[in-house]
Amino acid sequence: MSPSDFAIADTCFLIDWSYWSCRDVLFKLFRAIFVSETVLREVKSERAVEWIATALASGQLALYTEAPDVMGLATRIVERSRLVPGLRGVDLENRGAIMAVDLLEELSGVVVWRALEVIRGAIKRGFIAGDPEQVFKLYEEETKHRFPRAELEAVISELRGEAREVAQAGGGGEGD
Amino acid sequence: MSLEEKLEKWRRLEEEAKEIRRREADWKFIESLPPKLRVALKYYVEAGDLYVASRIAGLTIEEFNELRKRAGIPNVS
């Protein structure tokens, strides 16, 4: 199983993401994305509900019911995160989850993506075309989201660098 | 990078995010709201936590997210 086969989407990500005009690119990155029942309870607007229901019907999204053993594991991770001074609780907004993966060795194998990394992945794999800066700008405008500037600039620089390498390799090939 | 250095990196990012939320919030709009919504938005500006803020407001996360947009507060992450 490759890491991009499955993903689990949290509420805040899915709600923001559902307002983006390129939202369906998510389904090109992952074979199936699980959404928990608690996520569904938080979604109200026709736009978001319709998008999620359509994706559930097509199998691109899958409903995930939290089993007692999973809830037990989640509770233990939350308790662990709350014991580390300076670490945001993993039960709080997504920065808590990102910090926990960065700081707790036992979670170092977990991959947490924000919208920043999802869009980066989609551009890298050619699912979204165009200038990376404009793509991220569109997401920010449509969702009233804001990426941390330093991280955004690093990602844009990386993506533009790769695009230049591809263009140069293509140019060299034409001359051969 | 040591644990202390990582924590310092995250602390700086938290401060940057909080400053953006404070700066861009429409405070006139926020102050015009009923107490629960006003307090919830102020909590969101400080903590950046949509879930807890929505519980304070008595709204679903999506409903609170719409209120956040109307108040001009960016979701920084």
Domain ranges of chain B: 3-70
DSSP 8-state class, residue A110: -
List the end-to-end C-alpha distance of chain A, in Å, as a whole number: 39
What is the structure's pLDDT at A46?
Answer: 92
Nearest to A92 among B13, B16, B52 (CB): B52
| Cross-chain Cβ contact A41/B17 below 8 Å | no
Q: What ipTM was estimated for this complex?
A: 0.85
What distance in Å separates residue B3's CA from the closest CA in chain A?
7
Backbone φ and ψ for A77, nearest 5 degrees, come out as -65, -40
Mutate to test the interface with A, among B1, B65, B67 (most CBs of A within 10 A): B65
* pTM of the complete model: 0.87
Q: Give CA–CA dist B39/A38, Å, rounded.
A: 24
A8 part of contact set with chain B, CB < 8 Å: no
Interior angle at CA B59, CA B55 and CA B63, nearest 5 = 125
Partners of B17 on chain A (C-beta within 8 Å) are 95, 148
Is the pLDDT confidence value at A41 over 60? yes
Confidence at A176, pLDDT banded by 50, 70, 90: very low
Three-state SS for A158?
Answer: helix
DSSP 8-state class, residue A31: S
Q: Give CA–CA dist B73/B71, Å, rounded.
A: 6
What is the structure's pLDDT at A175?
Answer: 39
Q: Give CA–CA dist A51/A133, Å, rounded.
A: 26
Confidence at A172, pLDDT banded by 50, 70, 90: very low
Residues near A51 by beta carbon (within 8 Å), at least 6 away in sequence: A18, A23
What is the structure's pLDDT at A171?
Answer: 56
What is the structure's pLDDT at A1?
Answer: 43
Is the pLDDT confidence value at B5 over 50? yes
Between A163 and A21, residue with greater pLDDT: A21
Secondary structure element (H or E) that encloses residue A103, with its range? helix A94-103
Nearest to B76 among A43, A92, A146 (CB): A146
Ranking A105-109, B52-56, B58-62 by mean pLDDT, the lowest is A105-109
